[in-house]
A = this chain, B = another copy of it.
C-alpha cells in the first residue's frame, strides 16, 4: 500500500513520532527554547472530522480519477504554513475542495479542467501542497463558484526526455524533487534545485511560485532554469519554444513563471540541468556578528566568484540549529563544479572573508567544521517536520523572507527586527527572532527571519496574524519585497497589492481575464477577477 501523507502536517503518517518520542522532543525543545509545553497535544484524528458535503459530483468518465472522501479532501484543504497546520491539527477544515482529481496524464488534466469549467467550479492546481502562503487553499476567493475542484498533478512525475548535449530535460510538472533527481541521475544529470520543501514540492509548483533553490548566488530562482514551459489554459495550451535565450518581445515564459496557477495549469517544462558535481569545497566561517558577516557576504556577492552556498546565519539561529554556540555568526560557504576543481575559488573566497574579519579552522574532510555545516543542513531539512512538533507543544513558529539592496540593508534589518521582536513580545510575552541570508546578489541580500515564541493554545491563529501583519508591514514599509521565494498566494495579498505597480496590476487582471474568462483558476491568488 502507498504511504499516506499526514492529512494535517508534514511528511508521512508513518513518520509521526509516537507520544513517547514526542514527549522526549518536547523536553529537549522547551529546554533549549525556554518556553513551550512538555505535554504535547495530539492532532484531531481524521475519523473525528466532519467535512461539509461535496457540492459537485464528477461525471462517470472522470470517476476513476476523482476522490471525494474525507482523507483526500482534508489533505488538499490547506498548504503547510503555520496557520494551515494549526487549523488542520485542530480539525478545522471549513472549506475543503469538493472534488480532488488525480489525473494520470495531460489528457486527464484537460478533461478535469473542461469538466470543472463547465460546472462553474473554481480550479486549484496542486503540486506538493507545500505552499506556506495559502496558495492552494479554497477558503478565500472561491465563494462565487459552484464548488472547488483541486487538480493534484503528482502522477505526472516523469522525466520525459533528457538531452545531455544541451544539458536540458523535459519533465512533467508533478515530479517532486526526489522523483526528478532520481530519474535525472540515470543520465548523470541533476537539476540541483533544492528548496526546503524538496521532498514533496514539484517542478510545476516551483515554476508557478518562482521558487528559490539550492544556489545562493547566480541561478537562485527556478526562473533561470526554465528553458520552456507548457500549461493548459481555459483557452488552449500555452507552450513556448525551447530556446537557450531570446529577445522576441516580452518573455512568454516569464509571464507563466510566478503566475501561481492563475493563468493555467503547468503540465511540463524543459529545464536546464547540469552534470553531477565532482568537485566540492565547503567551509564554515565565523564572524563576530551578523553585521560583520554581512559585509563579507556583500564583498563575496560582488566578487564574481559565485559561491554555490553562501548562507550567513546569525549567532542565535546558529546556536538553535546546533551549528554554533551562540557567540558568533556563521557563514556556510561552498563551491561545487562538475568540470573543474574549485579550490582556487574557495581560496579566493576565504581571503575575502578574512579581509572582513572572518575566521575558520583548518579545513579537513570530516572534521568539526564540516560538522557545523552538516548540523545546519540537517536542521534546514528537518524544519518542516519540526513545525508539526512545535504546534503540538504550543510553540508558535513562523518564517518570512524578503530582499533588499545593500545600501538599505542595515537600517532595514534593524527596523524589521525591532518591529517584529516588539510584536512577538507583546503578543506572546517572549520568543526569539533570528535571521539568515538564504540567497545573495551583487546588489543585495535575501534575509530570512524565523520566529519562535510561546503560543496560547487555541489562540495561535490570532497571535500568528498579529505577528504576520507586523512583519509584512515592516518589510513593505522598509522597501523590501513581500516575498523572495515563498510566493504571494492569498496570505501576502494585502502587502503584495501595495508593492506592485498599479498599471501592472491592471495589465495582469486583463491578461488573466483573456485566458481565464470565468476567473476559475486559483481565484483569490495574486489578483481579483
A167 B238 Cβ-Cβ under 8 A:
no
A407 within 8 Å of B (CB atoms): yes
The CA of A274 and the CA of B406, in the complex, are separated in Å by 14
A245 B446 Cβ-Cβ under 8 A:
yes
A436 within 8 Å of B (CB atoms): no
A303 B251 Cβ-Cβ under 8 A:
no
Cβ-neighbour of A247 out of B209, B243, B264 (below 8 A): B209
Quote the shortest CB–CB distance from A251 to chain B (angstroms): 6
Cβ-neighbour of A248 out of B251, B254, B496 (below 8 A): B496
B304 A338 Cβ-Cβ under 8 A:
yes
Chain B residue, CB-CB nearest to A495: B248
A247 B526 Cβ-Cβ under 8 A:
no
A255 to chain B: which residues have CB within 8 Å? 250, 254-255, 504, 507
A459 within 8 Å of B (CB atoms): no
Chain B residue, CB-CB nearest to A271: B443
A233 to chain B: which residues have CB within 8 Å? 503
B250 A257 Cβ-Cβ under 8 A:
yes
A209 to chain B: which residues have CB within 8 Å? 247
Query: For the complex, would chain A's binding face be called helix, strand, loop or mixed by DSSP majority?
Result: loop
Quote the shortest CB–CB distance from A342 to chain B (angstroms): 9
The CA of A63 and the CA of B168, in the complex, are separated in Å by 56
Cβ-neighbour of A339 out of B263, B274, B303, B439 (below 8 A): B303
A246 to chain B: which residues have CB within 8 Å? 210, 403, 481, 483-484
A446 to chain B: which residues have CB within 8 Å? 244-245
A176 within 8 Å of B (CB atoms): no
> Of A118-126, A150-158, A510-518, which binds chain B?
A510-518
A486 within 8 Å of B (CB atoms): yes
Quote the shortest CB–CB distance from A344 to chain B (angstroms): 5
A305 to chain B: which residues have CB within 8 Å? 340
B407 A503 Cβ-Cβ under 8 A:
no
B244 A487 Cβ-Cβ under 8 A:
no
A404 within 8 Å of B (CB atoms): yes
A272 to chain B: which residues have CB within 8 Å? 442-443
The CA of A470 and the CA of B479, in the complex, are separated in Å by 50
A274 B163 Cβ-Cβ under 8 A:
no
Give the most central of A211, A220, A238, A239: most B CB within 10 Å: A238
1/0 per residue, CB under 8 A from B, across A489-510: the answer is 0001000100111111011111
The CA of A243 and the CA of B412, in the complex, are separated in Å by 13
The CA of A239 and the CA of B339, in the complex, are separated in Å by 42
B480 A243 Cβ-Cβ under 8 A:
yes
The CA of A245 and the CA of B252, in the complex, are separated in Å by 20
Cβ-neighbour of A483 out of B248, B441, B486, B526 (below 8 A): B248
Chain B residue, CB-CB nearest to A223: B251
1/0 per residue, CB under 8 A from B, across A355-370: the answer is 0000000000000000
Chain B residue, CB-CB nearest to A485: B247
Chain B residue, CB-CB nearest to A254: B254
A221 B238 Cβ-Cβ under 8 A:
no
A251 B247 Cβ-Cβ under 8 A:
no
A16 within 8 Å of B (CB atoms): no
A445 to chain B: which residues have CB within 8 Å? 244
Inter-chain pairs besides A252-B504, A304-B340, 7 sampled, C-beta below 8 Å: A163-B407, A221-B245, A242-B479, A244-B443, A302-B339, A503-B514, A511-B514
- Can you list 19 A-B pairs with a CB-CB distance of less than 8 A? A166-B405, A166-B443, A212-B245, A233-B503, A240-B504, A241-B479, A241-B499, A243-B444, A245-B481, A247-B487, A248-B481, A248-B496, A249-B496, A249-B508, A254-B255, A305-B340, A509-B514, A510-B511, A510-B514
